[in-house]
A and B are shown apart, each in its own frame.
Chain A
Amino acid sequence: MEERSIGLVKRVNGPVIEADGITDGMMMELVRVSEARLIGEIIKLSGNNAIIQVYEDTTGVAPGDIIYGSGLPLSVELGPGLIGTIYDGIQRPLEKLAEISGSHIKRGIQSPSIDREKLWNYTPAINDGDFISPGTVLGTVQESDRILHKILCPPDLSGTVNSVLNPGSYTVDTVIAKINDGSTVKDLTMIHRWPIRKPRPVASRIPLRIPLITGQRVIDTLFPLAKGGTVAIPGGFGTGKTMTQHAIAKWCDADIIVYIGCGERGNEMTDVLNEFPKLVDPRTGSSLMERTLLIANTSNMPVSAREASIYTGVTLAEYYRDQGYHVAVMADSTSRWAEALRELSGRMEEMPAEEGFPAYLPTRIAEFYERAGFMKTLNEEEGSVTLIGAVSPPGGDFSEPVTQHTKRFVRCFWGLDRHLANARHYPAISWLESYSEYLDEVSPWWAERAGDNWFRNRSRIMELLQREIKLQQVVKLVGPDALPDSQRFVIEICTLFKNAFLQQSAFDKNDCYSTVEKQLRMMDIILKYAELGENSIRKGTTLVNLRRIKVLQDIVKMKLTVPNDDLSLLDRIEARLERSIEKL
């Protein structure tokens, strides 16, 4: 639709603008404000007044400035060229913006989200006369080393194919097919648009059953996440939310990663931009950037774009899901998004609920997390969106509204513990507060690979950790010497388990991720020590002697010394462990 003038600015209060004289504005319409052409969105209409949230700094906007409507809701462009790009919260390509305005982002600049010049090698998948419906694959493009981009029929279109483009190199704007939808003939290009606040349609939801393997032992073994699942990672500052998110983004076995830096530090995004292209995905051998999309709306960028960034990210994820991929979305941090909601709500003078947050906060959180799922796509393929949301509770207090409401809508919870982080035990996921409701769903998957071992070992270790907490309480009162050796041995095992298994170094080449096989074998060895040690204490060995076994040092360091692709060393450690304990 043609850009048209729809009204005038009446009042400016930060990123919130009141407008009057609105003739034909619609809810959620994308608008541009004043001659600086600042991007905004209509969020409230009443009579001929409207409230607009502006995605850029509003300095200099004055009453009487003209508001231009675009006739479209705030949408993202979907097509080849998304992967490897870094966008801001409203899908403006930051690298292109840097070319236009230099190192600082000036206001009112625009650039198409998808590169219009780049040529793609296009192979059609349809023929003349075919009937196509939403989700039909029109053709394919090799987008990166490992991602075959399937160009889909937009979800709101169906009809008969009139003409098809031959294979060859084209830009995204080239008409690849003409579709007769019964009344008119429509041109289809490689890109289409989709409003960010509306979930993309699917055929049906499929029950979750496959774990998302993250390579982080504490997650995969103790608190597994399922593909299509949702998880919250709350933690005070410095407890390692971002580090955990980065580790998962690097090593998890999703096909595509969408990383949303929502109101966080600029240097963190720079870190990702520097590091990911250099890292190699162990599963495919190609660079990690070949599967990553970045959305960066750092804390100093406009607050309302921060609100939109979460939806932009999840819409891009849904688009790749519809092509049959497993997508993992990291949102760091959802608290900043909630605070953006609060700030905008405050500027609109809405009645606040808890701690100044608007009353619709839980609804918004629920809407967001419900966009995750393991789906049968319109094209009868399987794809998933997994949502991993960091939460930054003020003062590290998990009883605040964002953490509490998020907990209601996620099924997995990895609480980060200040005490662990202080000891630089990372990932600082607390085994006390965390839980995963996906245990039953993913158990069959593990059983296929390891028999009953995984579930049994996990239950055993959780039981030991629980017992240790009780024992530690006693130790705190009377000292460790008061306990019998058998009980002190439980503490000993748990300490070993924490050091050798749960703690994982993100910077070590062997330890930064662990394969499923390595995790299983490590558990076996630690639990074997527990079992043999317990027997041996029962037979009269003292704890002091048990502690002196040399092989314990190797067990503590096996995470660092044993490479993922050669686990034979673990067999040797296990054999030595058996021999040493026998000797006692």
Chain B
Amino acid sequence: MIKTDKLDKIHKDLLKGREYIGVHQIDGPIIIIRNTHQVGYRELVECIDQNRQVRLGMVLDTSKTAVAVQVFEGTSGLTLPGTRMRFKGEPLMIPVDVSMLGRVFNGLGNPIDGGPPPISAIEKDVNGLPVNPTAREYPRDFIQTGISVIDAMNTLIRGQKLPIFSGNGLPHNQLAAQIARQATLRGEKTDFAVVFAALGIKHDIARYFIDSFESSGVLDKVALFLSLADDPSIERIITPRTALTLAEHLAYDCGKHVLVIMTDMSNYCESLREISTIRGEIPSRKGYPGYLYSDLAELYERSGMIKGCSGSITQLPILTMPNDDISHPIPDLTGYITEGQIVFDRDMNSRGIYPPVAGLPSLSRLMKDGIGEDMTRIDHPHLASQLFASYSYVKDVRNLASVIGDEELTALDKQYMEFGDEFERRFVNQRNDENRDIEESLDIAWQCLSILPPEELTRITEDELDEHYGR
């Protein structure tokens, strides 16, 4: 048996790089080619057009009779007889190196800033490998973002994946840029390397991020992977994978703390749906493929910390909820994978509150282990829980007030209304260059809560009330 194995291997090695002239079908980004040798699943393909331009592709489906290849750089201009396909016999690999920080690449990892291609001895498979759960280090280091509503109520932890659920026209880019600028670990002089993946966003938004990184002087610590709105949509499928491959190298091989910003994940999902539809797959919800969950998980789970590695990957994916609908498959499946979410609220935005973070649906799952004594402040956990409870009651009172009018509310309910306004205006609202430390954020929260009578604060202990209430 061993003998056949070896023959098989030699046979496969010999066929590496074999080229075919002419293909049989081109449908959108997918090329079908018949009568090839035995091509491996997910193998890298170079697709060469008449002008000798090389485009990269990947095998999606392989059988004895036909092979389906998706071409990342689009198929426009290709002809059936004139296209050459070269099968590389290995998956898509990109070179990774720490010198890639400060550079700009396209979705496939080729430089587009005019510089030379990165030189590195290390090439990595962009698909990555699943992390063994026993090798993970549980993230518990508090990242101070300087934004009250995040630090106090939806704490970001180093190694967490915390998406921003936004909508069109909401200031998610400002918030992401502000987090990238201000994120620090307390008592430690760390700076984050930033890997930025642009998925189908507009040129001026990419520009905004670059300018923002430049003005805060961190541009040399940022690697940008740009697949903009006018690039072929299929390229977006590979862009986050390329970006994360570099992030993994920086974190686990070079020991850096990496912040990965991916925007906009909705565009990624759209591309996935496009491919799926062309292939005639059975759709699940809203035409998205049944494997959308697994596919997104492959990306989001490439974050965290690993035992014995000093680095970490913190993910900050941004997605715009189609029609502001949080139950749409994209935000819904994302929420099931990520460790919490920061949800934007259009109503708060139109009332001029920045960041317009909706208090109640936002959540950080890793918060419980990163806050409290020795990490932030001893009263933090109870205070956060109380803010959620009281703010949730404010929503009920507001609903009531909209039916019966403010005048008819009880005295207590009026206090709640006042608390709600103060909470939104003073605690949530801040300037987009305002960097509050955690003590300041917690103190403002206490000032807001002190509007309510102490017996309403059922989630806070007597000692904490004595120390902070009304101060």
Residues of A within 8 A of B (CB): 3, 5, 10-14, 18, 34-35, 57-66, 68, 86, 94-95, 97-98, 101-107, 236-238, 261, 263, 265-267, 269-271, 273-274, 296, 298-303, 336, 339, 342-343, 346, 349, 352, 355-356, 392, 394-397, 419, 422-425, 475-481, 499, 507, 553, 556-557, 560
Query: Cβ of A423: which chain B residues have Cβ within 8 Å of it?
Result: 360, 388-389, 392-393
The reply to whether B291 and A553 contact each other, CB–CB distance below 8 Å, is no
Task: State A229–B59 Cα separation when bound (angstroms).
Answer: 47
Q: Taking A35-B5, A273-B133 as given, write out 4 further A-B residue pairs in contact, using a Cβ cutoff of 8 Å, ordered by the A residue number.
A: A35-B9, A270-B137, A392-B336, A395-B332
Chain B residues within 8 Å of A269, by CB? 133, 136
CA distance A480 to B393 in the complex (A): 14
Q: Is B109 an interface residue (CB 8 A)?
A: no
Write out the residue numbers on chain B whose beta carbons fall within 8 Å of the beta carbon of A62.
12, 38-41, 43, 62
A-B contact pairs, 15 of them (CB 8 A): A14-B291, A61-B41, A62-B62, A63-B39, A66-B5, A266-B304, A267-B136, A267-B304, A271-B369, A299-B297, A301-B130, A343-B294, A346-B289, A395-B332, A423-B389
Contact flag A59-B127 (CB < 8 Å), given A65-B8, A300-B298, A422-B361: yes
Q: Answer whether residue B96 sits at the interface, using C-beta atoms and an 8 A cutoff.
A: no
Chain B residues 125 to 177 lying within 8 A of chain A, measured CB to CB, are 125, 127-139, 159
- B interface residues with partner A (beta carbon < 8 Å): 1, 4-5, 8-9, 12, 38-43, 61-64, 90-91, 125, 127-139, 159, 252, 281-285, 289-291, 293-294, 297-298, 300-302, 304, 306-309, 326-329, 332-333, 335-337, 339-341, 360-361, 363, 365-366, 368-369, 381, 385, 388-389, 392-393, 399-400, 403-404, 408-410, 455, 458, 461
> Which B residues are in CB contact (< 8 Å) with A106?
129
Residue from A13, A18, A274, A499 whose CB has the most chain B CB atoms within 10 Å: A13
Measured in the bound complex, the distance between the Cα atoms of B399 and A352 in whole Å is: 43
- CB of B135 within 8 A of CB of A98, answer yes
Give chain B residues whose Cβ lies under 8 Å from the Cβ of A560.
Answer: 461
Do residues B91 and A103 form an inter-chain contact, with CB atoms below 8 A?
A: no
In the complex, which residues of chain B have a beta carbon less than 8 angstroms from the beta carbon of A14?
41, 291
A94 touches B132 (CB 8 A): yes
* Chain B nearest CB, measured from A110 CB (Å): 15
Is B132's CB under 8 angstroms from A97's CB? yes
Contact A343 B291 (CB under 8 A): yes
Known contacts A356-B282, A475-B400, A270 near B458 by CB under 8 Å? no
Residue of B nearest to A37 (CB): B5
Contact of A63 among B63, B128, B131, B369 (CB under 8 A): B63
> Given A422-B361, A476-B400 in contact, is the A60-B42 Cβ separation under 8 Å?
yes
A-B pairs with lowest CB-CB distance, top 10: A395-B327, A299-B297, A11-B63, A423-B392, A300-B301, A237-B335, A103-B135, A422-B360, A104-B129, A356-B284
Whether B363 lies near A238 (C-beta < 8 A) is yes
How far is B127's CA from A107's CA once the two chains are assembled, in angstroms? Answer: 13
Closest CB in chain B relative to A406 CB, distance in Å: 17
- Evaluate contact between B294 and A303: CB separation under 8 angstroms: yes
Answer whether A396 and B327 are a contact pair too, CB < 8 Å, given A60-B40, A104-B131, A356-B282. yes
Q: Are A394 and B61 in contact (CB under 8 A)?
A: no
B293 surroundings in chain A (CB, below 8 A): 263, 299, 336, 339
> Which of A18, A86, A300, A397 contacts B327 (CB under 8 A)?
A397
Q: Is the interface of A mostly helix, strand, loop or mixed?
A: mixed
Q: Is the CB of B403 within 8 A of A58?
A: no
- Contact: B8 with A35, CB < 8 Å? yes
A299 and B337 in contact, given A58-B41, A476-B400 (Cβ under 8 angstroms)? yes
- CB within 8 Å for A303 and B41 given contacts A97-B132, A478-B404: no
Q: A300-B297, A394-B285, A424-B385 are in contact. Are A105 and B129 (CB under 8 A)?
A: yes
Whether B138 lies near A267 (C-beta < 8 A) is yes
Q: A238 and B291 in contact (CB under 8 A), knowing A394-B332, A477-B403?
A: no
| Interchain CB contact under 8 A, A339 and B290 | yes
The residue among B39, B63, B302, B381 with the most chain A CB atoms within 10 A of its own CB is: B63
Q: Is A61 within 8 A of B138, CB to CB?
A: no
A11 B62 Cβ-Cβ under 8 A: yes
